[in-house]
Amino acid sequence: MRKPFVAGNWKMNTDSHSSVELAQAVANSASGLAGDKVNVALIPPFVYLQSVVKAVKSTGVSVGAQDLYFEAKGAFTGEISPAMLKDIGCNYVLCGHSERRHVIGESDELVGKKVTAAIGGGLLPILCVGELLAERDGGQTEAVVARQLKAGLAGLSADKMSAVTIAYEPVWAIGTGRTATPQQAQEVHVFIRRFLAGMFNEKLAAEIRIQYGGSANAGNAKDLMAQADVDGLLVGGASLKAEDFVKIIQAAA
């Protein structure tokens, strides 16, 4: 049985006060569910990680970072290492979010190095994959997702894969209010599972959790989660309001 996993990616939002307030509000309402029935992670901007870790301590809610760098330390101005994230109590880390791929320009290969480094540093990477609208319209969804999975997981042996969550986030659904239909999500999730069975093995493919992300909200969470291969949600905008995010957690649990 795959335990549902809901994560809130706050992106470049909140401030020192509102980040703590939001984290506390989520932790208060989700206690009793978080950790037990459903894994919950909050993914704030780097600068608020420590205060959010403190705010959710002993509540069953985990904390993740939005990115990391693959080197351990040294002259990499502006970057954050896996050990630094681990050091402050971070458990999860997003790798290859579409905004990093398409706005910042990260390559598939760089994302793969980050996933490997995250696991090496004792973190749990959430590898994000997903196609652009033109790629979907051009019938390339599976090819794009396959390419991103192949490169993103290239450095890993099957025994390391239990640390990994995959997030399918079609780029055309992110922040657009245009959610993939539950069927569209399910189709790609099945493809991802089949691909992982081929790349690694059947057991691993059956056990790995695949989140859906892209305009997930309190209204559509239940229908998305009802799909057999949708194991959780990676939520952007709707994770910035505690009330909405808690409804999503409840729908997943």
Choose, by CB under 6 A, the member of 214, 232, 244, 247 that binds ligand 13P: 214
CB 144 within 8 A of CB 188: no
Q: Which residue is nearest to ligand 13P (CB)?
A: 236
219 makes contact with ligand 13P (CB under 6 A): no
Identity of the residue, 74 or 105, whose beta carbon is nearer to ligand 13P in the bound complex: 105
Instruction: Tell me which stretch binds ligand 13P (CB under 6 A): 46-54, 103-111, 131-139, 207-215.
Output: 207-215
CB of 178 to ligand 13P, least distance (A): 9
Closest CA to 71 of 116, 106, 128, 105: 116
Instruction: Tell me which stretch binds ligand 13P (CB under 6 A): 12-20, 23-31, 220-228, 230-238.
Output: 230-238
237 makes contact with ligand 13P (CB under 6 A): yes
235 makes contact with ligand 13P (CB under 6 A): yes
CB 247 within 8 A of CB 201: no
Of residues 99, 135, 169, 189, which has the active-site annotation?
Answer: 169
- One symbol per residue from 162 to 191: x for binding ligand 13P (CB under 6 A), - otherwise; what is it? -------x----xx----------------
Indicate if 243 belongs to the active site: no
CB 213 within 8 A of CB 235: yes
Q: How far apart are CA 27 and CA 30, in angstroms?
A: 5
Token pair of 225 as six digits: 């989660």
Identity of the residue, 200 or 213, whose beta carbon is nearer to ligand 13P in the bound complex: 213
CA dihedral 214, 91, 50, 249 (to 10 degrees): 40
CB 3 within 8 A of CB 39: yes
Indicate if 189 belongs to the active site: no
Instruction: Tell me which stretch binds ligand 13P (CB under 6 A): 18-26, 143-151, 232-240, 244-252.
Output: 232-240
- 156-166 CB burial, b ≥16 within 10 A, e <16: beeeebeebbb
Choose, by CB under 6 A, the member of 4, 9, 93, 248 that binds ligand 13P: 9
Using CB under 6 A as the binding criterion, the count of chain residues that bind ligand 13P stands at 14
Strands (E), the chain: 5-9, 39-43, 61-65, 92-95, 124-129, 165-168, 209-213, 232-235
Closest CA to 67 of 117, 136, 141: 117
**Which positions lie near ligand 13P, rule CB under 6 A?**
9, 97, 169, 174-175, 213-216, 234-238
Q: Which residues are the active-site residues? A: 97, 169
